[in-house]
């Protein structure tokens, strides 16, 4: 039996006090953490871990961006919607939309590349192992 392929995941969470600045607004860096939290939840839903202790490969980030549309505040209940927007032999690009009360608060993306550590300690891009690649697919375009 073939395992399901994942293309999207929505994480629901509440903004914590330590995530806000002195003005009570979420610090911009936390949006990247929310995206990664959703990414790790997506991988767990697919039956995987992005960083198992015995991993032969890792997934460094090679590009990341966010646009901020409205502030998030302490105790806001947010949804972090993550989509696989593109996949190549060696990379995955996610798109992310963060909403509060159904209103868009931020949109962003991150690209990860499969990398293998070389004997000299450097990282070199590598093909995503089939056991991982087979668990994900590009999300269908919304109509």
Domain residue limits, the chain: 8-133
DSSP code per residue over 6-57: B-EEEEEEE--GGGB-TTSBB-THHHHHHHHHHHHHHHHHTT--SS-TT-S-
Residue 10 CA to residue 39 CA, distance in Å, equals 9
Per-residue pLDDT of the chain (143 residues; tens, 9 = 90+): 567 899 999 999 999 999 999 999 999 999 999 999 999 999 999 999 999 998 899 999 999 999 999 999 999 999 999 999 999 999 999 999 999 999 999 999 999 999 999 999 899 999 999 999 999 999 987 64
Specify whether 120 is catalytic. no
Residue 64 CA to residue 54 CA, distance in Å, equals 26
**pLDDT score recorded for residue 1:** 55
Q: In terms of Cα–Cα distance, which of 123, 58, 114, 116 is closest to 91?
A: 114
Q: Which of 21, 54, 101, 120 is catalytic?
A: 21
Q: Is 94 helix (H, G, I), strand (E, B) or coil?
A: strand
**pLDDT score recorded for residue 143:** 42
> What tokens appear for 69 in the block?
């549309």
Architecture field, domain 8-133: Roll (3.10)
Q: Does the predicted model carry a pTM greater than 0.85?
A: yes
């Amino acid at each position: 039996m073939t395992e399901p392929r994942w293309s999207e995941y929505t994480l629901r969470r509440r903004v914590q006090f330590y995530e806000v600045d002195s003005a009570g607004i979420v610090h911009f860096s936390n949006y990247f953490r929310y995206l990664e939290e959703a990414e790790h939840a997506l991988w767990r839903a697919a039956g995987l871990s992005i960083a198992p202790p015995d991993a032969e490969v890792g997934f460094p980030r090679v590009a990341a961006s966010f646009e901020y549309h409205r502030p998030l505040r302490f105790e806001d209940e947010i949804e972090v919607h993550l989509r696989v927007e593109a996949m190549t032999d060696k990379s995955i690009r996610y798109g992310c939309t963060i909403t509060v009360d159904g209103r868009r608060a931020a949109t962003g993306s991150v690209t990860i590349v499969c990398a293998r550590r070389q004997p000299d300690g450097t990282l070199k891009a590598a093909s995503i192992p089939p056991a991982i690649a087979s668990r994900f697919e590009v999300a269908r375009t919304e109509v």
